[in-house]
Structure 1
Amino acid sequence: MSRGRPQNPEKQAQMTAALLDAAERLLDKKSYKSITIRELAAEAGTQSAMISYYFGNKEGLFLALLDRTGDMRQRRLQQVAVLLETQPDRVLAMLVETVSDIMTEEPWLIHLVKDEVLASEGRLREHFVKTFPVRIGHALLTMFSVLQQKGILRADMNPHFATASMVSLMAFPMIAEPLIQGVLGVDRQVLRSDAWKQHLTLLLTQGLGQQTPGEGKI
C-alpha cells in the first residue's frame, strides 16, 4: 500500500477503510486511550498525517468507526425486519441469531463500551448512544410492536420493556465475560455457539411469546 496521499476516490476509500480496520484490530488488543496515532498509521500501512487528513484526529477516526459499524448493524436488522410480513414467527429467532453474531464478531466494540462509554463521558459516549441504543433500540421496538399486533407476542407485553430485556440478555454476557467465564465457563466461544442462541431464543419466546390456553397453569 502506498504511504502517500491517494488521489483517486477508489484509493481514498481503500485508505479510509484500512484506517478503520486498523482501529478495530488495535482496539481488540488495547484500550482506546492507549492507542496512538503512530500505531494506527503503522497498522494501516500509511503515514500518521493520513489520519488528520481523513478524520481530523484519533477521536474522529473512532467516531467514524462507530458510524460504520452502526450502519452495518442497521442494515442487518433491516434484513430481519423484512420477515415481519412474510415469516413473522421466525423474527425472534432471527433477531437472536443476528444480534449474537454481530456482538461476537465485533469484540472491539465491547472493549470500547467498557472503557469509554460506561466509564467516562465525552464525544465517544454521546456518539455511541446516538449510533446504537437510539437507532437499534428504535428498530427493535418497532419489530416487537409489529409482532405484538400480529399476535406473535403476548398482548400484555410492554414493547419498551421487551426491547430493554433483549438488549440486556444479549449485551451483558459480552460485557461481563471475564466474570462469567471463570465462574460459569461461559466464554466467547460459548456466546458464538448455536446452543447459546437457542437458549436465548427459548427465553424470549417463552417470556414474550403468545401463550396457548392452559400454558403457565400449575
Structure 2
Amino acid sequence: MSRGRPQDPEKQAQMMSALLDAAERLLDQKSYQSITIRELAAEAGTQSAMISYYFGNKEGLFIALLDRSGRQRQQRIQEVVFLLETQPESVLPVLVDRIADMMSEEPWLVHLIKDEVLTREAKLRAHFVKTFPARMGESLLNLFTTLQQKGILREDINPKFATASLISLMAFPMIAEPLIQDVLGVDRQVLRSSAWKQHLTLLLTQGLGSPPR
C-alpha cells in the first residue's frame, strides 16, 4: 500500500477503511490508551500524518470506528425488523442469532467497553453510548413493543425491561469472559456456538414469549 496521501476518492476510501481495520486489530490486542498513532499507521501501512488528515487525531479515528460499527449493527437489526410483518414468531430466535454474531465478531468492541466505557468519563464513552446502547436500545424497544402488540410477547412483560434483559444476556458473557471461562469453561468459542444461541433463545422465548392458546 502506498504510504503517501492518495488522490483518487476510491483510494482515499480504501485508506480510511485500512486505518479503521488497523484500529480494530490493535484494539483486539491491547487497550485503547496504549495504542499509539505510529502503531496505527504502521498496521495500516501508511504514515502517521494520514490519521490527522482523515480523522483529526486518534480519538477521531476510534469515534469513526464506533460510527462504522454502529451503522453495521443497525443494518442487521433492521433485517430482523423486516420479519415483523411476515414471520413475527421467528423474530426472537433470529434476533438472538444476529446479536450473538455481532458480539462475537467484534471482540475489539468488548475490549473498548471494558477499558474505556465502564471505567472512564470521556468523549469516547459518550460517543459509544450514542452509537451503541442508545441507538440499539431504541430499536429493540420498538421491536419488543410491536411483538407485544402482535401477541408474540407476553402482555405482562415491560418492553423496557425486556430490552434491558436482552442486552444484559447478550453482552455480559462477553464482557465477563475471563471470569466465566476460568470458572465454567465458557470461552469465546462457546459464546459463538449454536448451542449458546439456542440456550439464549430458549431463555427468551420461554421467559418473554406469550404462551400458546
Structure 1 and Structure 2 fold alike (TM over 0.5): yes
CA distance in 1, matches of 2:39, 2:132: 27
Q: Deviations over 1:90-126 (max 9, x none)?
A: 0000000000000000000000000000010111000
The amino acid of 2:174's aligned partner reads M
Q: Show the 5 A alignment for 1:97-176.
A: 97-176=97-176
The amino acid of 1:90's aligned partner reads S
Percent of aligned pairs with the same residue? 77
Structure 1 residue 212, shift from structure 2 partner: 3.5
CA distance in 1, matches of 2:22, 2:61: 10
Query: Which residue of structure 2 aligns with residue 82 of structure 1?
Result: 82
* Two-structure CA RMSD over aligned residues (Å): 0.6
User: Structure 1 stretches (4+) deviating beyond 4 angstroms?
Assistant: none
Structure 1 residue 45, shift from structure 2 partner: 0.2
**TM-score, normalization by structure 2:** 0.99
Query: Which residue of structure 2 aligns with residue 94 of structure 1?
Result: 94
Q: Show the 5 A alignment for 1:41-56.
A: 41-56=41-56
Q: Secondary structure at the match of 2:101?
A: helix
Q: Secondary structure at the match of 1:21?
A: helix
The amino acid of 1:23's aligned partner reads A
Gaps of 5+ in 2: none
**TM-score, normalization by structure 1:** 0.97
Q: Deviations over 1:105-155 (max 9, x none)?
A: 000000000000001011100000000111000010011000000001111
CA distance in 2, matches of 1:134, 1:65: 17
Query: Which residue of structure 2 aligns with residue 18 of structure 1?
Result: 18
